[in-house]
């Protein structure tokens, strides 16, 4: 690691002012992406700003038809929360699919979406549920937040404080794991809330998480795996690497979308 | 290398510890190099293998992926603190011995700390499937896992009603 100085602010305002003073500084949440990256010297922030002492950044709350999860909430706490399990069971399940138990004790939702790894799970849930990401400055819709692989709409000195999830009527996530890293080779999240139907894909696109409007249109007619029968997406713009070709990933998007819709309507996967 | 250091105070195996460290110091380095608690191992240093698992505030944590400075005020338990120095082994350690759950022993401290955490979260009756799923983040290059799974199931049963289940917290 390159050398850095370490800061533990008590409030979001203090953290933001530290960030504003040094554009190269980085926030530290669970550290389970940032520290490995720093060990590889792919990142070398001169200052680390640890968010863990700030009150009120972690926690889960439901009010009416929306569920709010604080940025510093650990994956394990989302996975085991009775509130999440009841309101959006698929979200609890998805959090339990991230990494391993020790990773889930440290990793946070805020860190995961700020990082926007093209193979990460939470970005699919956020885009697939149409969440609102709340920062110290503003509220950002998921559709505007994820702007490309490892990039987001966050500005310098902007800190995610929480994520607000509308509670869907039906939702499911299908993750096809990369056998080595166990991240998503392809993951498809589907949801239905009134007439709002969303299909979000992680792992496949070379530009990070994306929505599949052709699938969404087809599902508007009828929310059933049959509506997607024979449908696929073009291989253009899909990732291609030793783990799978662009064509293979495009194929998986169709297969996993059908399985996810089947799961969402309570049918066993075809 | 910058000469900056910072102080951190935490509790390790029930004892208060204060150290002056380079901010880059990982928890595992604090344990092994500053406190000479070499039971916690480093297998990969890339957050994958679980040889470095200890408990931080009662929860299994990869000590190669946490900075010492993140842990001011925290309570850390390592393999050395699982059983009293002169007392009998912790039931999970005893189960690994009894079931031949180790060969070279490199992964064992992390396996045992993970197993004790597993019991805390999942209870004393662990089926084989649950144990294997829960070991996602722990790699063993020797045993083929079979005896580790057996040891954890037996250790979990043996922990029932013992204060060992509490000591891990
Ligand atoms: C072995 C292993 C397996 C994993 N498997 C998976 C997997 O299967 N699926 C998956 O999705 N992920 C996986 N991960 C990644 C894991 O989920 C990370 O914890 C997560 O991506 C980052 O969260 P963090 O809290 O650790 O963030 P950090 O590493 O602390 O931070 C990540 C980035 O986000 C920024 N940041 C953090 N918090 C905020 C905030 N509140 N506002 C603005 N910016 C912020 C940081 O500055 C940094 O740039 C795995 C990680 C490991 C080590
Ligand atoms: S040394 Fe920490 S996970 Fe391998
Ligand atoms: S016993 Fe040798 S690595 Fe597990």
* Distance from the Cα of residue A218 to its chain's centroid: 24
Residues B15-55: tens digit of each pLDDT: 999 999 999 999 999 999 999 999 999 999 999 999 999 99
Q: Tell which residue, A166, A191, A208, A169, has the closest CA to residue A260.
A: A191
Q: Tell which residue, B13, B169, B67, B32, has the closest CA to residue A106.
A: B67
Q: Where are the alpha helices (DSSP H) in chain A?
A: 12-21, 34-39, 75-80, 82-87, 89-95, 101-106, 109-115, 122-129, 142-145, 213-221, 246-264
Cβ–Cβ of B138/A100 closer than 8 Å?
Answer: yes
List ligand 2's pocket residues with C-beta within 6 A.
B 42-45, 47-52, 62, 64
Cβ–Cβ of A3/B137 closer than 8 Å?
Answer: no
CA of B144 to the centre of ligand 3 (A): 9
The residue of chain A with its CA nearest to that of B58 is A105
Q: Tell which residue, B128, B138, B146, B83, has the closest CA to residue B107.
A: B138
Q: Which chain A residues are Cβ-neighbours of B134 within 8 angstroms?
A: 101
Domain B6-81 has CATH 3.20.20.70: no
Q: A41 vs A54, A76, A109, B3, B28, CA distance in Å?
A: 27, 28, 24, 19, 19
In contact, A265 and A170? CB cutoff 8 Å: yes
Residues B112-150: tens digit of each pLDDT: 999 999 999 999 999 999 999 999 999 999 999 999 999
How do the domains of chain B map onto residue ranges?
6-81, 91-160
Look at domain B91-160 and name its CATH class. mainly alpha
CA of B132 to the centre of ligand 2 (A): 18
Query: Token pair of A132, please?
Result: 């609102």
Closest approach of B151 to chain A, Cα-based (Å): 19
* pTM for this prediction: 0.96
B117 and A CB contact within 8 Å: yes
Q: Which of A5, A102, A179 to mutate to test the interface with B (most CBs of B within 10 A)?
A: A102
The atom number, within ligand 1, closest to the CA of A72 reads 41
User: Ligand 3 test: best mutation among B143, B147, B149, B151, most atoms within 8 Å of CB?
Assistant: B143
B91-160 shares the fold of B6-81: no
**DSSP string of chain B?**
-----EEEEEEETTEEEEEEE-TT-BHHHIIIIIS--TTS--S-SSS-S-TTEEEETTEEEEGGGSBGGGGTT-EEE-GGGSS-TTSPPPHHHHHHHHTT--SS-SSHHHHHHHHHHHHHHH-S---HHHHHHHGGG---SSS-SHHHHHHHHHHHHHTTTSTHHHHT-
Question: Across-strand partners of A198?
Answer: A191
Question: Across-strand partners of B9?
Answer: B18
Could you give the ipTM of this predicted complex?
A: 0.94
Q: Which of A101, A104, A107 to mutate to test the interface with B (most CBs of B within 10 A)?
A: A101
In contact, A123 and A113? CB cutoff 8 Å: yes
In contact, A128 and A198? CB cutoff 8 Å: yes
pLDDT in tens, chain A (270 residues): 999 999 999 999 999 999 999 989 999 999 999 999 999 999 999 999 999 999 999 999 999 999 999 999 999 999 999 999 999 999 999 999 999 999 999 999 999 999 999 999 999 999 999 999 999 999 999 999 999 999 999 999 999 999 999 999 999 999 999 988 899 999 999 999 999 999 999 999 999 999 999 999 999 999 999 999 999 999 999 999 999 999 999 999 999 999 999 999 997 654
d(CA A208, CA A122): 12
Cβ neighbours, 10 Å, residue A155:
9
Q: All domains of chain A, ordered by start, with CATH?
A: 5-50 (3.30.43.10), 170-270 (3.30.390.50)
Q: Which chain B residues are Cβ-neighbours of A6 within 8 angstroms?
A: 6, 23, 67, 69
Give the ligand whose atoms come closest to the C-alpha of residue B96. 3
């Amino acid at each position: 690691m390159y050398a850095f100085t370490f800061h533990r602010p008590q409030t979001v305002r203090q953290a933001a002012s530290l960030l504003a003073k040094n554009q190269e500084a980085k926030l530290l949440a669970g550290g389970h992406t940032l520290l490995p990256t720093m060990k590889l010297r792919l990142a070398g922030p001169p200052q680390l700003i640890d968010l863990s002492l700030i009150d009120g950044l972690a926690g889960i709350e439901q009010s009416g038809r929306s569920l709010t999860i604080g940025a510093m909430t650990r994956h394990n706490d989302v996975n085991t929360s009775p509130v999440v399990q009841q309101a959006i069971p698929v979200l609890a399940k998805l959090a339990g699919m991230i990494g391993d138990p020790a990773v889930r004790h440290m990793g946070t939702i805020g860190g995961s979406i700020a990082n926007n790894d093209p193979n990460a799970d939470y970005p699919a849930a956020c885009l697939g549920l149409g969440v609102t990401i709340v920062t110290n400055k503003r509220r950002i819709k998921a559709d505007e937040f994820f702007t490309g692989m490892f990039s987001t709409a966050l500005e310098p000195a902007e800190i995610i404080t929480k994520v607000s999830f509308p509670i869907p009527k039906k939702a499911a996530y299908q993750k096809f794991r990369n056998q080595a890293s166990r991240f998503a080779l392809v993951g498809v999240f589907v949801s239905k809330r009134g007439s709002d139907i969303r299909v979000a894909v992680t792992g496949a696109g070379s530009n990070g998480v994306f929505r599949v409007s052709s699938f969404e249109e087809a599902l508007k007619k009828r929310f059933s795996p049959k509506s997607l029968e024979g449908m696929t997406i073009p291989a253009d713009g899909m990732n291609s690497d030793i783990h799978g070709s662009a064509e293979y990933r495009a194929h998986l998007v169709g297969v996993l979308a059908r399985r996810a819709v089947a799961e969402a309507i309570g049918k066993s996967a075809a | 290398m910058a000469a900056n250091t910072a102080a951190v105070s935490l509790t390790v195996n029930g004892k208060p510890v204060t150290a002056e460290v380079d901010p880059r110091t990982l928890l595992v380095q604090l344990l092994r190099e500053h406190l000479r608690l070499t039971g916690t191992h480093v297998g990969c240093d890339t957050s994958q293998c679980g040889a470095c698992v200890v408990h931080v505030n009662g929860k299994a944590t990869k000590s190669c992926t946490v900075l010492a400075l993140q842990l001011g005020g925290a309570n850390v338990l390592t393999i050395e603190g699982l059983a009293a120095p002169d007392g009998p082994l912790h039931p999970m350690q005893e189960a690994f011995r009894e079931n031949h759950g180790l060969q070279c022993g490199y992964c064992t401290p992390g396996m045992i700390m993970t197993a004790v955490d597993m019991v805390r979260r999942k209870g004393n009756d662990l089926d084989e499937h649950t144990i294997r799923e829960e070991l996602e983040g722990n790699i063993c290059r020797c045993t083929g896992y079979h005896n580790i799974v057996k040891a954890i199931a037996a250790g979990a049963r043996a922990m029932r009603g013992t204060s060992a289940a509490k000591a891990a917290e």
